Every structure is written in C-alpha cells, then in structure tokens.
Amino acid sequence: MANSYVRSKAWTLKEEDGGCVAILTNYDVQNVTVQFQNTSHELLPKSISILADCKNVIFNTAKVNTEHNSRIVEATQIFDSSDSWEEFKDVIPNMEDALLKSETFLEHMNTTKDKSDYLWYSLRFENNLSCTKPVLHVESAGHVAHAFLNNIYTGAAHGSHDAKGFTMDIPIMLNDGMNNISILSAMVGLPDSGPFLESKFAGLRKVEIQCTEKESYNLTNYTWGYQVGLVGEKLQIFREENLGAVVWSKIGTSMNHTLTWYKIFFDAPTGDDPVTLNLSTMGKGEAWVNGQSIGRYWVSFPDSKGNPSQTLYHVPRSFLKASENLLVLLEEAGGSPLQISLNTVSVTSVREDIAYYHLPR
C-alpha cells in the first residue's frame, strides 16, 4: 500500500509469512523527517530509501559507493617528421571522364547504392557570362559538399543534426573559355528505420552562378557527369598490398590538404595497455591501421562547447604487429597529420564513497 506525506511517499510490500519491504521517497530539495510504522526516518533530498524489514535502511540513492576508472594517456610516438609521411592527392574528375551522365540531378543514395559515402557531380561549360564578381551558389539536401573549379579547391559547407540541408556561396574566378565545376557530395550516416525512408533525398538540389542579386545563371538542368567514390577508395590503397596502385610522394608544405591520402609506418608500443591515435590536428576523414578501419573522424566539426566530439581513436592490439604497421588517413577537409600521436592508455580502478546531496535552492 502507499502512504502519502506532504513531500514524500512510501510503498510497502508484505508477504504472508510476515516479510516486509518498504520504499520511502523524498521529492523535495531539502531533508524531510517522516514517521513510518512508529519509526522516525530522515530522508535526504531527492532520494529513495529501501527498508529491508520495513524498519532499517539498507540503501539510499543519495549515498552511493561508486567505482570508477582513472585513465592516464601517454604519447609513445609523435608522427611529426615530414620525411616519414607520404601522400597521394585523389583525382578530381571532370565532365569528360564521367561514365554516367544526366540532365537532371541524380539523388545521392540511389546513385552510390552503399558503395561509397562520396558522389562526384561534374559539369563543363563555356564562360560567356557578363559577371565581374561571380559567386558559385550550391544548394544541397545534405550532408557535406566540397567544390572545385578547374581542379582547384574553392570551399565547402555542411548541414547539421537538425538541418541536413544547406547552401554554399563561394566567390570564384572563371577562366575565359571552358571551365570545369566538380562538386563532391559526402554522406555522414543514414537512418535505418522510421517512416518514409524511400522518400528521403540527399545530394545536390541546385547549382547556379550568381552575378548580381537580379542576375544569375542556373546550371541545375545542364548535363552533369557522375562518379561514385574516390580513386583511392576504389583502389583500396589503405591496404599494404595495394599501395603500389598509385604514386605516392613526400608530404608537401601546401596548406591545401583536401582529399589527400597519407601513409606512414610505425612500431607497436610495448606492453598490453590499450592503444589510441590522437587525431586532434586532422579535419574530416577516415583512418585505417593495417587495412582495418578504426573509424571515421570529424575533428573540425565542434560540439556545442566548441570542442571536437572525439580526438582519441582506439587501435585494437589485434590489429597490430610488432613493427612496420601501416597507418593510412584519408583527409577530406584540410587537416594536417604532422602532430598525430600514438598513445597508450593505462586504466586504474578507484573506489570511493561519494555522498551526493542536492543543496536547497
């Protein structure tokens, strides 16, 4: 049965043989003293007490014994030598290279068919515009887009958790004569349940060149070419046996690291402690160790407090050899690998008696 107090409640469970268990609750932010079965009990703020024999408190949620881990992260290697890294810049496709073409924009997911997160949209057009300060205007239904003009990176934009769609407005310099626009649409995750999945749309919706507020040139219904995935992705150059499929070069000093693959070899740390990679200097992409993906990263997209949601990425010991381990990174958004560190994490169990009290307001 339940007994009501001004700021608390009690539930009593009784057995035929006389056994009794009671639950006392205090909803207030202050201590409350109650009388229960001729016994006085002081209930801590916002707490639940369990009375094993309806008399003696054996558990109270405001006073909990906890056990937590103390983690110590120690950098065992810092990959800061440019001589140790090699890079491969992925190929920017042009319209004439495309095997698939369409006069209307193709939807991203139906075109890639789960083969890749990436879909290239490419267009070749002749510049006969009267613009003096043209702006490339792109509207996308999500999730990320990178724009290239004549194989030169011009900018990027992305949606958010609440608003998948976005627009991108980038000032550009057009060549006289023919120009190539290549836009890479990228996905970062799809829903796997819920209503109207078949009606969800991703990818580009509109592309135009804006000259003034009243003058623009809509390129949406031109003939666009399409390529699913990246060259390095198709060739699986994150596997050691496929490294020779492309030409690697020493890492450059240019700040344009967009759509660049990086590789380096490293030795495994000694001991049995867990191993992580600190990717805090990277932007957005994916990492592989000995051909095994350790996950996608998006360090450059901060959380609500302005910090990366994650910087440490676990490398299972089962992925590692004693030496000559291959690390490959696909950097999509301009990060630098030169301060990546390999870390070990030691974990120590700590038991503390902690009392949680809610102070009066």
Tens of pLDDT, residue by residue over 140-170, are 998 999 999 999 999 999 998 888 899 999 9
Please state, in angstroms and rounded to a whole number, the distance separating the CA atoms of residues 361 and 114: 53
Please state, in angstroms and rounded to a whole number, the distance separating the CA atoms of residues 191 and 195: 10
Quick: pLDDT tens for 47-62: 999 998 898 899 988 8
pLDDT at position 256: 64
Are residues 303 and 276 part of one domain?
Answer: yes
CA-wise closest residue to 136 among 204, 230, 223:
204
Strand partners, 326: 265
CA-wise closest residue to 343 among 280, 282, 293:
280
CATH number, residue 77: 2.60.120.260
Whether residue 143 is preceded by a cis peptide bond, meaning omega within 30 degrees of 0, is yes
Mean pLDDT, rounded, for 297-305: 92
Tokens of residue 129, six digits: 């515009």
CA-wise closest residue to 330 among 246, 227, 224, 241:
246
Domain count of the fold of the chain: 3
DSSP secondary structure letter of residue 269? P
Mean pLDDT, rounded, for 186-203: 81
Quick: pLDDT tens for 247-279: 999 997 665 679 999 999 999 999 999 999 999
What phi, psi does 18 have (nearest 5°)?
A: 100, -5
Mean pLDDT, rounded, for 206-215: 91
pLDDT at position 358: 40
Structural domain that includes position 150: 95-229
What phi, psi does 240 have (nearest 5°)?
A: -60, -35
Are residues 80 and 49 part of one domain?
Answer: no
Tokens of residue 294, six digits: 């350790």
CA-wise closest residue to 259 among 300, 230, 219:
230
Indicate whether 187 belongs to any domain.
yes
Are residues 224 and 237 part of one domain?
Answer: no
Are residues 268 and 239 part of one domain?
Answer: yes
Are residues 113 and 78 part of one domain?
Answer: no
CA-wise closest residue to 119 among 181, 207, 182, 185:
185
Average pLDDT, the chain: 90
Q: Which of 208, 229, 250 is the last residue of a domain?
A: 229
Are residues 222 and 159 part of one domain?
Answer: yes
Are residues 238 and 306 part of one domain?
Answer: yes
Higher pLDDT: 39 or 340? It is 340
Q: Which of 199, 229, 259 is the last residue of a domain?
A: 229
Residue with tokens 């030598």, as numbered in its chain: 81
Q: Is this model's pTM higher than 0.75 or not?
A: yes
Are residues 219 and 110 part of one domain?
Answer: yes
Strand partners, 210: 135, 216
Indicate whether 156 belongs to any domain.
yes
CA-wise closest residue to 327 among 284, 283, 278:
278
CA-wise closest residue to 328 among 87, 75, 115:
87
Residue 120 has pLDDT above 80, yes or no: yes
pLDDT at position 71: 86
Residue 361 has pLDDT above 50, yes or no: no
Find the length of the chain.
361
Q: Which of 229, 259, 285 is the last residue of a domain?
A: 229
